[in-house]
Amino acid sequence: MNKRRTFFKTFETLKKIGLLSLLISLFFISCNQPQNSDYFKSIDVLADHGEFLKIEHMIDSIRQIEPQNDTDLKKIDSIQDVIHRIRINFPLYEIQIKEQLSRYYSQIDDSLILQWENSGKLEMRIIDGEKRFFNNAVSNLFRLDSLAALHKEQIDGKQPDLLKLFCLTHTQKVIRESKNNSDPVIPVNMILTYTIKLKANAVPDGEIIRCWMPFPREGKARQTAIKLISSNPDSSIIAPENYLQHSIYLEKKAKKDQLTEFRIKFSVQTAAQYFNLKPEDVKSYDTKSEIYRKYTSERPPQLVFTPEIKKLGAQLVGNETNPLRKVEKIYTWINNSIPWASALEYSITPNIPAYVLANRHGDCGMQTLLFMSLARSVGIPVKWQSGWMLHPDQVNLHDWCEVYYEGIGWVPLDQSFNLQDSPDQQLREFYIHGIDAYRLIVNDDYSQILYPAKKFARSEPYDFQRGELEWNGGNLYFDQWIWHMDVDYQIAEEISI
CATH label of the domain that carries residue 333: 3.10.620.30
Q: Please, how many CA atoms are within 13 Å of residue 467, restricted to the half-sphere of its CB?
A: 28
Indicate the range of 90-99, 131-140, 485-494 predicted with least confidence.
485-494
- Note the pLDDT of residue 49: 87
DSSP secondary structure, 295-341, as one string: HTS-BTTTB---HHHHHHHHHHHTT---HHHHHHHHHHHHHHH--B-
Does residue 439 form part of some domain? Answer: no
Identify the domain boundary among 66, 89, 112: 89
Count of beta carbons in the 10 Å neighbourhood of residue 285: 18
Q: How do residues 401-438 score in pLDDT, each as one tens digit?
A: 999 999 999 999 999 999 999 999 999 999 999 999 99
Measured CA to CA, the distance from residue 416 to residue 413 in angstroms comes to: 9
Has residue 277 got a pLDDT over 60? yes
Tell me: do 336 and 284 sit in the same domain. yes
Has residue 203 got a pLDDT over 60? yes
DSSP secondary structure, 107-127, as one string: T--HHHHHHHHHHTSS-EEEE
Does residue 44 form part of some domain? Answer: yes
Q: How do residues 434-465 score in pLDDT, each as one tens digit?
A: 999 999 999 999 999 999 999 999 999 999 99
Has residue 73 got a pLDDT over 60? yes
Pairwise pLDDT comparison (27 vs 489), residue with the higher score: 489
Does residue 171 form part of some domain? Answer: no
Structural domain for 259, as ranges: 180-272+444-491
Identify the domain boundary among 73, 89, 105: 89
Indicate the range of 59-63, 97-101, 150-154, 471-475 predicted with least confidence.
59-63
Tell me: do 150 and 99 sit in the same domain. yes
For residue 136, the 8-state DSSP code is T
Tell me: do 363 and 298 sit in the same domain. yes
Does residue 61 form part of some domain? Answer: yes
Tell me: do 263 and 132 sit in the same domain. no
- Note the pLDDT of residue 10: 36
Has residue 80 got a pLDDT over 70? yes
Indicate the range of 11-20, 45-54, 72-81, 306-315 predicted with least confidence.
11-20
Measured CA to CA, the distance from residue 188 to residue 222 in angstroms comes to: 10
Per-chain mean pLDDT for the chain: 91
Has residue 271 got a pLDDT over 70? yes
Edge-first strand listing for the sheet containing 439-443: 409-413, 394-405, 382-391, 439-443
For residue 15, the 8-state DSSP code is H
Mode of pairing for the β-strands spanning 382-391 and 394-405 = antiparallel
Indicate the range of 98-112, 202-216, 328-342 predicted with least confidence.
98-112
Query: Which amino acid, residue 193?
Result: T
User: 379 phi and psi, to 5 degrees?
Assistant: 85, 25
Measured CA to CA, the distance from residue 87 to residue 133 in angstroms comes to: 10
Does residue 170 form part of some domain? Answer: no
Pairwise pLDDT comparison (487 vs 493), residue with the higher score: 487
Tell me: do 254 and 290 sit in the same domain. no
Has residue 368 got a pLDDT over 60? yes
Which of helix, strand or coil describes residue 161?
coil
Does residue 7 form part of some domain? Answer: yes
Count of beta carbons in the 10 Å neighbourhood of residue 24: 26
- Note the pLDDT of residue 78: 84
Query: Considering its fold, how many domains does the chain have in total?
Result: 4
- Note the pLDDT of residue 178: 96
Pairwise pLDDT comparison (3 vs 198), residue with the higher score: 198
Tell me: do 61 and 101 sit in the same domain. no
- Note the pLDDT of residue 29: 43
- Note the pLDDT of residue 352: 97
* pLDDT band (50, 70, 90) for residue 7: very low
Phi-psi group of 40: left, alpha or beta (phi > 0 → left; psi -120 to 50 → alpha; rest → beta): left
- Mean pLDDT within 144-156: 96
- Note the pLDDT of residue 48: 82
Tell me: do 293 and 325 sit in the same domain. yes
b/e map 159-172, b = 16+ CB within 10 Å:
eeeebeebbbebbb
Indicate the range of 53-62, 406-415, 425-434, 480-489 predicted with least confidence.
53-62
Has residue 33 got a pLDDT over 50? no
Tell me: do 383 and 463 sit in the same domain. no
Has residue 185 got a pLDDT over 70? yes
Mode of pairing for the β-strands spanning 237-238 and 247-253 = antiparallel
Tell me: do 284 and 426 sit in the same domain. yes
Tell me: do 65 and 202 sit in the same domain. no
CB 282 within 8 A of CB 407: yes
In this prediction the pTM is 0.91
Which of helix, strand or coil describes residue 128?
coil
- Note the pLDDT of residue 491: 65
Measured CA to CA, the distance from residue 53 to residue 222 in angstroms comes to: 50
Does residue 232 form part of some domain? Answer: yes
Has residue 35 got a pLDDT over 50? no
Has residue 320 got a pLDDT over 80? yes
Q: Please, how many CA atoms are within 13 Å of residue 448, restricted to the half-sphere of its CB?
A: 20
For the chain, the C-alpha Rg in angstroms (whole number) is 23
291-299: Cβ within 8 A, 24+ apart: 291/381, 291/404, 292/381, 292/404, 294/381, 295/376, 295/381, 295/382, 295/383, 295/404, 296/376, 296/379, 296/380, 296/381, 297/376, 298/376
* pLDDT band (50, 70, 90) for residue 220: very high
Does residue 487 form part of some domain? Answer: yes
Query: Which amino acid, residue 64?
Result: Q
Tell me: do 16 and 48 sit in the same domain. yes
Tell me: do 333 and 408 sit in the same domain. yes
Has residue 239 got a pLDDT over 60? yes
- Mean pLDDT within 334-363: 96
Identify the domain boundary among 72, 89, 106: 89
* pLDDT band (50, 70, 90) for residue 76: confident
CB proximity list for 75: less than 8 A, separation 6 or greater: 24, 28, 35, 36, 39, 40
Measured CA to CA, the distance from residue 194 to residue 231 in angstroms comes to: 10
- Mean pLDDT within 489-497: 63
